[in-house]
A and B are shown apart, each in its own frame.
Chain A
Amino acid sequence: MAENVLEIRDLSLSYGDDDIVRNVNLSVKAGEILCIAGESGCGKSTLLKAIHGMDAINVTAGDIVYEGKSILGMPASERRRMMGTGIGLIPQNPQGSFNPLRSFGKQMKETMESHGMKFDRTEMVRLMDSMGLPDGDKLISSRPFELSGGMNQRVAIVFSLLLQPKVLLCDEITSALDVTSGKMVIHEVESYAAHSNAAILMVTHHLGIADRIADTVAVMNHGEVVEYGPVSKVLYHPEDSYTRMLLEKIPKIRREAVS
């Protein structure tokens, strides 16, 4: 049995005085895709923030373990090296990914150099092409504010994938995209997991996406995981009433996805 790359153990989180997440237990193995689903405000994004650790969120109990090591007590320098190459993040809004004033090329180069990697321009162009961004060579020299939000989002995904993370955190990555680009992006993330044997932790309110790519699904409501298991069980034989209520919206979502 494969080791868990990322484990969330009994995690409780608060922001200020408000408890947001309570007693969450989740894990992902290499090559596995875990979707965390739930309506907005259920705590799924806060959970993701606690994992990448960039925002000030209080961990009131529990632990987050990456490759057998707690990341909460990790020294800042070690954590910095782990970010991007160990745990990667694709944020929800594309403004959250790049310095708007500096070219993509410069930003990718300094990212790679921070990890002692070499910046390979042709590899980047190739990946951009597969993400529906032709003319990558020109795009690399342009600055984020010159491109649309959807294009920025796809470049952000290219950035994340080029770092070859073992765990990739995706925060509602299709919300800034149209249906076609969204499909393209989801496909690319899925094939990345398959080829690189990486674990994906995807936060989405879109159960259709979970159905399409996930191996396991966790449904969150009011800061707690109400149902957690293989996709075949959670989405097709749900036990929890809240999950069932969410699933009633699925046919509608499927129709949208097809059209």
Chain B
Amino acid sequence: MKKVISNKIIRKRARRRVYVIGALCVLLVLIAIFAKQLSPHDPNVTSALLIRRPPSKEYPFGTDSYGRCVLSRVLAGAGTTIFATTVLVAVTFVIGTVLGIISGYYGGLADTLIMRVTELFLAFPQMVVAIAVAGILGGGLKAALIALGVTAWTGYAKIARSHTLSVKNENYIAAAKLAGLRGWQIICFHILPNTLFPLVTNALTQIGTTMIGISGLSFLGLGVIPPQAEWGSMINESRAYIQLAPWAVLYPALATVITIMLFNYLGDAVMDLRKAERRN
């Protein structure tokens, strides 16, 4: 018979995993923040003499067809991707959470209205809407973020609402009401702290999806406008001469895959931790 592992050990392991992966993600973010300082060259300086050089000591990832340093561009791309993702996740998090809590806490007409709108946005295919909106707005990072954000907030709203509903009738909320706290005070001090963990978990799982979306739009030429460095658009620029300079595609590809995997893994680890915490 299989040995049963106690919940305590499962929790401990889950927590350790979150710390390790979390530290790696923080490291990645730091790299993105200090991209300028870490870059050996200016990511945007072109040179006719240095076109498609294979990786060397001076250019560890080689150069692209404009003679730009691929390593510097990958580092700069990390900044673009992580900045854009953070902005999008943060904005959709706040909008979705506020709407979800209002909907759950006040109920009634506000609830009906907000939930109808949420269902509405959930009913449309995200990437199709994003491509069309970004395409018609004429590209650019801002348009891409709006295009992806149109549907991304709905998840938070649903989670925030259901968790608000589940704590709304607890005794301590009634006590807070009797103590004369106002609606927004109860929301800030009592409801928000109790819904934060599932919301953060959702935000973490959204990071990977958002990155895939941003790089996909940029790849299509609907996101970041060159020459600004972004992994998706770098891959698109370089794929035409992949035979001559595979490094110009492979390094941004590798960076994309590693980053998305790391953040997806963090999301998984936090979700496992939540499950382990709830087993008690």
Contact = CB atoms under 8 A, between A and B. Distances in A.
Interface residues of A, number: 9
Contacts of B8: 16-17
Interface in B190-240: none
B6 A18 contact: yes
A176 interface: no
A54 to B, nearest CB: 12
Contacts of B4: 15-16, 56-58
Contacts of B47: none
Interface string A3-27: 0000000000001111000000000
Interface string B6-29: 111100000000000000000000
Nearest to B5: A16
Contacts of A58: 1, 3-4
A17 B4 CA distance: 8
A18 to B, nearest CB: 7
B6 A17 contact: yes
Contacts of A72: 1
A59 B1 contact: yes
SS class, residues of chain A in contact with chain B? loop
Nearest to B2: A56
A173 to B, nearest CB: 26
A12 to B, nearest CB: 14
A245 B81 CA distance: 69
Nearest to A53: B1
Nearest to A73: B1
A136 to B, nearest CB: 39
Contact of B7 (A16, A56, A57, A59): A16
Nearest to A50: B1
A17 B7 CA distance: 9
A15 B7 CA distance: 10
A16 B6 contact: yes
Contacts of A16: 4-9
A17 B3 CA distance: 10
Contacts of A18: 6
Contacts of B7: 16
Contacts of B1: 56, 58-59, 72
Nearest to A17: B6
A28 to B, nearest CB: 23
A18 B1 CA distance: 17
Interface string A155-197: 0000000000000000000000000000000000000000000
Contacts of B3: 58
A70 to B, nearest CB: 12
A18 B3 CA distance: 13
Interface in A22-61: 56-59
B134 to A, nearest CB: 43
* Residue from A15, A16, A18, A56 whose CB has the most chain B CB atoms within 10 Å: A16
B197 to A, nearest CB: 24
Contacts of A56: 1-2, 4
B3 to A, nearest CB: 6
15 contacts: A15-B4, A15-B6, A16-B7, A16-B8, A17-B6, A17-B8, A56-B1, A56-B2, A56-B4, A57-B4, A58-B1, A58-B3, A58-B4, A59-B1, A72-B1
Given A16-B7, A58-B3, 18 more contacts: A15-B4, A15-B6, A16-B4, A16-B5, A16-B6, A16-B8, A16-B9, A17-B6, A17-B8, A18-B6, A56-B1, A56-B2, A56-B4, A57-B4, A58-B1, A58-B4, A59-B1, A72-B1
Closest 7 CB pairs of A and B: A16-B6, A17-B6, A56-B4, A58-B4, A16-B4, A15-B4, A58-B3
